Structures are given as C-alpha cells and as structure tokens.
Chain A
Amino acid sequence: MTLARHEPFPDIARQREADRFGMVVFLASEAMLFGAVVMGLFALRTFEPAAFAATSQRLNLVAGSVNTAVLLTSSLLVAIGAEARASDRAALAKWMLAAAAALGLVFLVIKGSEYVQEYGEGLMPGVGPRQDFATPGARMFMDGYFIATGLHALHVTIGVVMLAGCAWRLRGDDPPSIVGVGNIGLYWHLVDIVWVFLFPILYLSR
C-alpha cells in the first residue's frame, strides 16, 4: 500500500517530509526535557561527587545493564519492523513491533523489581518504613534517580502502548501508514537514546 496524499501538500515527498519533520521537532522538545534532567544530575555529581558515587554503587548494576541491552534489542526490532512495513511485509512488521512492545514490558518489569528492591533498602525518598540515606547528597541522588527513571518509564509505557497498538492494527485491513509506523519507531528510538545517557550517569558513576 502506498501513501495517500492529503491537502495541502502538492506531492507525496513534501507530505512525508513534513510528517517526519513534525515528529522530529516533537522529539527535539522531548530531548530538551530529558536534557535538563541529565544536566541536573551532572550538576549534582559535580557538587556531591562522594555521595553521588557511593549511592550510585547501591543501585542494581546487573538489572540496569540487562535493561540497557533489552532496550537496544527492542530498538533493533522496531527498526526491522519499520523497514518491513515500508516494504509491505505487514506480517513481519506486526511480529517485530509486538516483540519490541514485549521487550518494553520486560524493561518495565525489571525496572519495577529495582524499585521494589530500593524500597526495601530504604532508598525511596520519603516512602517506606525506613530511610537509609547517609547524607543529604545521597538523598538528592535518589531523588534525581526516581525523577529521571520515572519520567523515562512513563515514556516507555506510552511507547509500549503505541507499539502494541500498531502491531494490533497491522493484523487487519486498515494498517497504520508507513510514516505512522516510522514515527512511532522514532519515538521508541528516542526513549532508547535517553536511557543510553541515563544508564552510565546513574549506574556507572562509581
């Protein structure tokens, strides 16, 4: 199925470029949002290097590393899925996007298990039966950790819903357009890029 032209675009190429441009501008605004969070973490690390490193060590490095690999793999599947949709292989696209959504769920489950672990260790600021922060800097690190990973997890959740919806619609007679699948793929890749920056700052600042 080829793309249908809509008003007011004079040709398909212009329309496709405008659709893509709009999505990239939106993603740029998302990058600003996460960029501010990341820079806040950088600033905290500059002022509280010892507390930052000590608290970073208390995070679950294995879970964080596995989660990074999970997201990178799901990005690969989304890229293959978008390619398949562009070359009219709807069945392959459907399964790739569904698998990517499933990996997104795996990410959320691992992230949730980390939150449970941190709750048990008294590392969840203001929540739980006990608080175990050696210094105010340690608590600020965990504040930043939950803000950054929570905001990211929200984006992962939205991405999973959109990928699953895309995969669902690819079953029937009214599949999402090539540009639509491509744009949702771009969103998922951005979520991946954000994690690529959050992971070393939060987990590897030892």
Chain B
Amino acid sequence: MPLGRLLFTWVALLVLLSLTIASSFLPIGEWRQVINFAIAIAKAALILWIFMKMRDEAALVQLAVIVAAVLLLVLGGLLAADYGLRGPSPYVSIDANTAAPHFP
C-alpha cells in the first residue's frame, strides 16, 4: 500500500477529530451527539478500511467484520427497544399504600 494513502488517512482522521471536538461546542443541542457518533463511525470505517486493510481482505474476513457490526446493531436495537418502550405495565398494578406498613 502506498505510504501516501496511509498518511492521507491519518490526516483525515485528525481532521475528523478536530471536527468532532469543534462540533461539541456548537449550540445545537442533541444534534451534537448525532454528529459525534457519525464522525466516530466515519473514523472507525477509515481505520478498518485503510489501516486494517479490510479493503484487500478475502470476503470471508470481511464477512466476520460485518457480522460483528450487525450483531452490535442488534444488541443496540434490542437495548433501545427495551428501554425506549418501557411504560407502566397494564398487568401489574401495585398501590404504594398497600405495601406500606399500617398502624391501626
């Protein structure tokens, strides 16, 4: 692999790092988290594709990486579904008063 490509990737990673730090100072609320996470994924993709040379690997090896990414998405999706959709259960109704001790 040409040295220039590695150096260019390194510069791109440092630029993305500067962007993510700078964006965290912008007054754009929750969008900062979205931008930060998107930049993190872009950096990880650059490292995987160029530094780890996954672009040159056999399909089997690439598949192992893709399976890991998909499983992490499944894990995150299940976590988000669990916490995101929690509400008061219609089946269980505990009155706080019945659990408290009574003193006649």
Instruction: For A21, give its contact among B47, B52, B61, B68 (CB under 8 Å).
Output: B61
Q: Report chain B residues within 8 Å CB of A192.
A: 47, 51
Q: Which chain B residues (1-47) contact chain A, with CB distance < 8 Å? A: 1, 3, 6-7, 9-10, 13-14, 17, 20-21, 24, 32-33, 36-37, 39-40, 43-44, 47
A161 at interface, CB cutoff 8 A: no
B103 at interface, CB cutoff 8 A: no
Q: Report chain B residues within 8 Å CB of A61.
A: 21
Q: Which chain A residues (38-70) contact chain B, with CB distance < 8 Å? A: 39, 42-43, 45-47, 61, 65, 68-69
Inter-chain CA distance A36–B58, complex, in Å, is: 28
A11 at interface, CB cutoff 8 A: no
Asked if residues B6 and A83 are in contact (CB atoms below 8 Å), the reply is yes
Stretch from A74-82, A121-129, A152-160 forming part of the interface with B: A74-82
Asked if residues A24 and B61 are in contact (CB atoms below 8 Å), the reply is yes
Inter-chain CA distance A205–B32, complex, in Å, is: 8
Report the minimal beta-carbon distance from A58 to chain B, rounded to whole angstroms: 15
Asked if residues A69 and B47 are in contact (CB atoms below 8 Å), the reply is no
Asked if residues A200 and B51 are in contact (CB atoms below 8 Å), the reply is no
Asked if residues B6 and A200 are in contact (CB atoms below 8 Å), the reply is no
Report the minimal beta-carbon distance from B86 to chain A, rounded to whole angstroms: 11
Asked if residues A31 and B72 are in contact (CB atoms below 8 Å), the reply is yes
Report the minimal beta-carbon distance from A85 to chain B, rounded to whole angstroms: 13
Q: Report chain A residues within 8 Å CB of B68.
A: 27-28, 31-32
Asked if residues B61 and A76 are in contact (CB atoms below 8 Å), the reply is no
Report the minimal beta-carbon distance from B61 to chain A, rounded to whole angstroms: 5
Asked if residues A75 and B51 are in contact (CB atoms below 8 Å), the reply is yes
Q: Mark B55-69, 1 if CB is under 8 A from A, else 0.
A: 001101100110110
Q: Report chain A residues within 8 Å CB of B10.
A: 72-73, 75-76
* Number of chain B residues whose Cβ lies closer than 8 Å to a Cβ of chain A: 40
Of A31, A72, A201, most buried by chain B (CB within 10 Å of CB) is A72
B83 at interface, CB cutoff 8 A: yes
Instruction: For B17, give its contact among A20, A72, A185 (CB under 8 Å).
Output: A72
Q: Report chain B residues within 8 Å CB of A185.
A: 51-52
Inter-chain CA distance A206–B64, complex, in Å, is: 35
Inter-chain CA distance A27–B57, complex, in Å, is: 15
Q: Report chain A residues within 8 Å CB of B21.
A: 61, 65, 204
* A-B residue pairs, 6 tightest by C-beta: A28-B68, A200-B36, A204-B24, A76-B10, A24-B64, A79-B51
Known contacts A186-B52, A199-B40; 16 additional CB pairs below 8 A are: A17-B60, A21-B58, A21-B61, A32-B75, A43-B83, A46-B83, A65-B21, A72-B14, A182-B53, A189-B48, A192-B47, A193-B43, A193-B47, A200-B24, A200-B40, A205-B33
Chain A residues packing against B (C-beta within 8 Å): 17, 20-21, 24-25, 27-28, 31-32, 35-36, 39, 42-43, 45-47, 61, 65, 68-69, 72-73, 75-76, 78-80, 83, 182, 185-186, 189, 192-193, 196-197, 199-201, 204-206
